Structure 1
Amino acid sequence: MIKLTRAAYDDIVYRAYKGSEAEICGVLAGEHGTDGDKSVVTGTYAAENVAETPEIRYLIDPEEQLELIETVEEAGLDVVGFYHSHPTGPTHPSETDAAQATWPDHSYVICALDGYPFVGSWRWRDNEEAFEQETVSIRSER
């Protein structure tokens, strides 16, 4: 299960809309569950999509990714996972997404904009070399 604060959820959706036809991407920060199954996202860190075909792929520059990870850790947070958009759907990971997944037991959130925006999440299971769909919920902020 992954819980996102309303602000984190909205940030992903709004960035996806602003990305228009290009996929947007970034790092999810918060609390990574000790059992590897329950995480809370309290912040998002936007990255530039440097893929050659950003309309159908996303790629975070390795140096920028390292900088974002260091920023997350300096803030006392965990890297919970990553997010990107699929401007024309679907909300599940593509074969390319699966081929590029390298963070076991971390979440990969996808925002699809085909019709009503929808945010789905999958956790990469390295031992199975596959994604496992996880429940997404919005945590109310007080």
Structure 2
Amino acid sequence: MNVEVTSDVIARLHEESASAHPRECCGILVGEVGQGVDRIEEAIPAANVAADPTRHFEIDPATLLAAHRTARQGGAKVLGYYHSHPVGHPVPSATDCEHSTGDLRVWAIIADGQVAFWRDTGNGFAPITCHMVGQTASNSLNPNA
């Protein structure tokens, strides 16, 4: 399943990553589920409540519960999550892979000036083809990741 993402979401992910640096930013990706394509329409920032936010992320449970509650009430669906790697590349780390659950959610990883999208397969993560919708895509999006 492919993913579409708005240019506003990409800009927001870059902003969140920059403002959190040197800590990891994190949050929730919401939007609509389509036939063969998920459309990410919003990135909801969350506090990183990890014990060491410079090396790990943990999405604030209250923010996560609120997003799921909104989805159950007919709002935007929780499609996945995002976080940054302040040092490194926009690929899942060993720690990210340890937390793979197989829920098929989208993970966006922001690092090195790029945003890459991955699908949680339960055996780690598989790269997702991502298409920018809205404004013209820039080099900030890595469509092959």
TM normalised by structure 2 equals 0.83
The answer for the alignment partner of 1:18 in structure 2 is 19
> What residue is the counterpart of 2:68 in the other structure?
69
Counterpart for residue 91 of structure 1: 90
Q: How many equivalent residue pairs?
A: 134
AA aligned opposite 2:105: H
Which residue of structure 2 lines up, in the alignment, with residue 121 of structure 1?
A: 117
1:130 to 124, 131, 139: 124
The percentage of aligned residue pairs carrying the same residue is 30
Q: Secondary structure at the match of 1:110?
A: strand
Residues 3 and 139, structure 1, Cα contact 8 Å, conserved in 2: yes
Asked if 1:140 is matched to 2:131, the reply is: no
Structure 1 position 3, deviation (Å): 1.4
Most deviating of 131-140 and 41-50: 131-140
Q: Residue type matched to 2:77 in 1? A: D
Query: Is 1:30 aligned to residue 31 of structure 2?
Result: yes
Give the distance between the partners of 1:6 and 1:120, measured in 2 at CA: 14
- CA deviation string 1:65-114 (max 9, x = no partner): 112322344462111100000111211001111122335111000000x3
Unmatched segments (≥5 aa) in structure 2: 136-145
Moved more, 8-17 or 56-65: 56-65
The one-letter code of the counterpart of 1:66 is: L
Moved over 4 A (4+): none
Distance across 2 between alignment mates of 1:89 and 1:71 = 34
What residue in structure 1 maps to residue 110 of structure 2? 111
**3-state SS in 1 of match to 2:81:** strand
Which has the larger displacement, 23-32 or 72-81? 72-81
Q: Is the 8 A contact 1:32 1:79 kept in 2?
A: no
- 5+ residue gaps, structure 1, are none
